[in-house]
Amino acid sequence: MSFTIDSEVRSHGGTQYVCTHDSRATSTPMTFSIFVPDHEGATKLPVVWYLSGLTCTHANVTEKGEFREACAELGLIFVAPDTSPRGDSVADDPEGAYDFGLGAGFYVDATEAPYAPHYQMWTYITDELPTLIEHAFPCDKDRQSIMGHSMGGHGALTIGLSFPERFKAVSAFAPIVAPSQVPWGKKALTGYLGDDKNVWRKHDAVALIEDGHQVPALLIDQGSDDNFLEEQLKPELLQTACDQAGIELTLRMQHGYDHSYYFISSFIRDHLAWHQQRLA
Amino acid sequence: MSFTIDSEVRSHGGTQYVCTHDSRATSTPMTFSIFVPDHEGATKLPVVWYLSGLTCTHANVTEKGEFREACAELGLIFVAPDTSPRGDSVADDPEGAYDFGLGAGFYVDATEAPYAPHYQMWTYITDELPTLIEHAFPCDKDRQSIMGHSMGGHGALTIGLSFPERFKAVSAFAPIVAPSQVPWGKKALTGYLGDDKNVWRKHDAVALIEDGHQVPALLIDQGSDDNFLEEQLKPELLQTACDQAGIELTLRMQHGYDHSYYFISSFIRDHLAWHQQRLA
């Protein structure tokens, strides 16, 4: 349960840490960032998990997410893990593609060779890292929520739907909502989990909802000028599933916005305020 | 006066542009970013200039500065130029050091070989780029202010002190206030301008104030944990010069903050609001 603090920087009335530890789940060193607002000595603070998208590390949202001002005001800890195991021993996409392998763990526990030994991101995010941060930082484990972007939106949705008691709110920016039905997801789920589509269902938000999973509250922002909207994201599939399951989904189409951190940073304050209301 | 729009992205209720043009001043292509808040058709908006520090391009503040939310709320255009000419034909520091040559133009017009042909950043920032943006974007040239970081704080101070009619407010994050008296500045001013220290005075904020230059309003934030504070920045020299000249300086020491964009982004909203009051 030990870890190294790679950097510790004061920002926006709080402290931005970047930490590295040897992960049991992935059998690799893993790096994450965590922002802790200033707080009274023994106070425990609610925790917002942020899962990043394809090609990202912890650093993208940490540098470009513009979350610290709102987190400091709202008293929220903000955790940003990496998106895959990394290192010379970790298998990558055979052709080095951006959408599978390194930077593209898809938040599953891989069962297929050669990915199974290290690609255990589901266990890492839902079990190992929560235990670490609860011991090392002033986290109130009874007040947690989760959000993510694109592939990380997929992660936030599937983890939120799988642990509705743990996460009081789930939100996403431009999430992959139905990986079983889109190219990015089909490639990743086949590569990590094999061909049995029944196995994929617990890693597909729309399928989880069809199978009866619930979530306390759900907010999604989607840019209308997102290049991946029609082929990979398909928020209408989530809307239909939520309608049929009686889940209240707030789906906001943001006119003219794209898939980048210029979009995420524009609305992350809204998301954090919405989370904080549900974590009070 | 033509330019190319490299990217145009919607963010925070405005548009973030990155543009490139062939500069007459530097005889190279130059890239800058400009954020334009949404506005009524023919409205012209006040302009805040942001000059970046050593090693930076326009991109650092554009990605990490967290200025767009405040600029959109306050109705401010935000311009971020590059810090030097660039290209294969542009002379660099003989040893490739970070503090001279590429990424380190120090906002002067070089007179010394081999830098004079391209390092004409004073003319670029004070003459060429203003004309370009006034023609291409809805800029109100009668409502302008200037800010900067570190070397860019030096640029903002010296340009603000030289054009007090043009810039209604000047602010800086961790500026080099007296380059003639510190290692970064001595190296740069010698390399670009030669050995005559009388020539340096128009590029040294403390010397300009000693020589009678004034500025309408001056705000500086300085982190107490900035590694460069004692050797390179020396804000006390500016305080003394302002006190003797009767210039009202607001100098805020920010406890625990460093020299990075984690520091700048924490206080840029304060600066922008302070500028906007003086641009109304």
pLDDT digits (tens, 9 = 90+) for B24-64: 999 999 999 999 999 998 999 999 999 999 999 999 999 99
Rounded alpha-carbon distances, angstroms, from residue B100 to B94, B107, B203: 9, 12, 15
**What are the two backbone dihedrals, phi and then psi, of residue A197, each rounded to the nearest 5 degrees?**
-70, -15
Nearest to B9 among A10, A66, A258 (CB): A258
Q: How far off is chain A from B195, nearest CA to CA, in Å?
A: 39
Rounded alpha-carbon distances, angstroms, from residue A130 to A77, A166, B89, B153: 12, 11, 53, 42
Question: Please, are residues A247 and A213 in contact by the beta-carbon 8 Å criterion?
Answer: no
Asked, as a colleague might, if the bond just before B85 is cis with ω within 30 of 0, I would say no
Rounded alpha-carbon distances, angstroms, from residue B115 to A45, A228, B125, B135: 54, 46, 17, 30
Task: Specify the pLDDT at position A69.
Answer: 98
pLDDT digits (tens, 9 = 90+) for B99-116: 999 999 999 999 999 999
Task: Specify the pLDDT at position B1.
Answer: 67
Q: How far apart are CA B42 and CA B146, in angstroms?
A: 24
Task: Specify the pLDDT at position A116.
Answer: 98
Strand order through the sheet with B218-223 = B4-11, B14-22, B29-37, B77-80, B45-51, B139-149, B167-173, B218-223, B249-254
Nearest to B10 among A12, A256, A261 (CB): A256
- Are B263 and A11 inside 8 Å of each other by CB? yes
- Are A64 and B64 inside 8 Å of each other by CB? yes
Closest of B88, B254, B212 to residue A12, by C-alpha: B254
- Which sign does the torsion angle of CA B93, B98, B103, B106 carry? negative
Q: Mean of the per-residue pLDDT values for chain A? A: 97
User: What is the DSSP pairing of strand A77-80 with strand A45-51?
Assistant: parallel
A9 touches B: beta carbon within 8 Å: yes
Task: Specify the pLDDT at position B216.
Answer: 85
Token pair in block for residue B108: 């002067």
Please state the rounded mean pLDDT for residues B257-271.
98
Token pair in block for residue B89: 């034909």
DSSP A201-249: GGG-HHHHHHTT---S-EEEEEETT-TTIIIII-HHHHHHHHHHHT--E
- Are A225 and B265 inside 8 Å of each other by CB? no
Please state the rounded mean pLDDT for residues A49-72.
98
pLDDT digits (tens, 9 = 90+) for A194-228: 999 999 999 999 999 999 999 988 999 999 999 99
Task: Specify the pLDDT at position A217.
Answer: 86
- Are A10 and B261 inside 8 Å of each other by CB? no
Percent of chain A whose pLDDT exceeds 70: 100
A240 touches B: beta carbon within 8 Å: no
- Are B262 and A13 inside 8 Å of each other by CB? no
Q: How far apart are CA B218 and CA B22, in angstroms?
A: 33
ipTM surpasses 0.90: yes
Percent of chain B whose pLDDT exceeds 70: 100
What residues form DSSP beta bridges with B221? Answer: B173, B252
- Are B262 and A11 inside 8 Å of each other by CB? yes
For the cut 70, the answer to whether the pLDDT of residue B126 exceeds it is: yes
Residues 6+ apart with CB under 8 A from B170: B145, B146, B147, B156, B157, B160, B161, B215, B216, B217, B218, B219
- Are A263 and B13 inside 8 Å of each other by CB? no
The model's confidence at residue B145, banded by pLDDT at 50, 70 and 90, is very high
- Which sign does the torsion angle of CA B106, B111, B113, B114 carry? positive
Decide if A11 is catalytic: no
DSSP B229-272: IIIII-HHHHHHHHHHHT--EEEEEETT--SSHHHHHHHHHHHH
Q: Which residue in A has a C-alpha nearest to residue B257's C-alpha?
A: A10
For the cut 90, the answer to whether the pLDDT of residue A1 exceeds it is: no
- Are A258 and B10 inside 8 Å of each other by CB? yes
A258 chain-B contacts, CB cut-off 8 A: 9-10
Residue carrying the six token digits 């998208």: A53
Which residue in the list A58, A118, A259, A275 is annotated as catalytic? A259
A257 chain-B contacts, CB cut-off 8 A: 10-11
State the Rg of chain A over Cα.
17
Give the global pTM: 0.96
Task: Specify the pLDDT at position A262.
Answer: 98
Q: Which residue in B has a C-alpha nearest to residue A16's C-alpha?
A: B262
- Which sign does the torsion angle of CA B193, B195, B200, B203 carry? positive
Amino acid, single-letter form, for residue A155? G
At residue B48, the 3 state secondary structure works out as strand
Q: How far apart are CA B111 and CA B84, in angstroms?
A: 15
Nearest to A63 among B9, B63, B69 (CB): B63
Q: How far apart are CA B184 and CA B182, in angstroms?
A: 6
Cα B179-B180-B182 angle, rounded to 5 deg: 60
Question: Please, are residues B107 and B122 in contact by the beta-carbon 8 Å criterion?
Answer: yes
State the Rg of chain B over Cα.
17
For the cut 90, the answer to whether the pLDDT of residue A132 exceeds it is: yes
At residue A196, the 3 state secondary structure works out as coil
B123 touches A: beta carbon within 8 Å: no
For the cut 90, the answer to whether the pLDDT of residue B217 exceeds it is: no
A73 touches B: beta carbon within 8 Å: no
Give the CA-trace dihedral at A233, A238, A240, A244, to 10 degrees.
Answer: 170
Residues 128-157 of chain A with CB under 8 A from chain B are: none
Length reported for chain B: 280
Decide if B150 is catalytic: yes
Q: Where are the beta strands (DSSP E) in chain B?
A: 4-11, 14-22, 29-37, 45-51, 77-80, 139-149, 167-173, 218-223, 249-254
Task: Specify the pLDDT at position B228.
Answer: 98
Q: How far apart are CA A77 and CA A45, in angstroms?
A: 6
Q: How far off is chain A from B185, nearest CA to CA, in Å?
A: 27
Please state the rounded mean pLDDT for residues A137-142.
98
Task: Specify the pLDDT at position A216.
Answer: 85
CA neighbours closer than 13 Å in the CB half-sphere of residue B7: 15
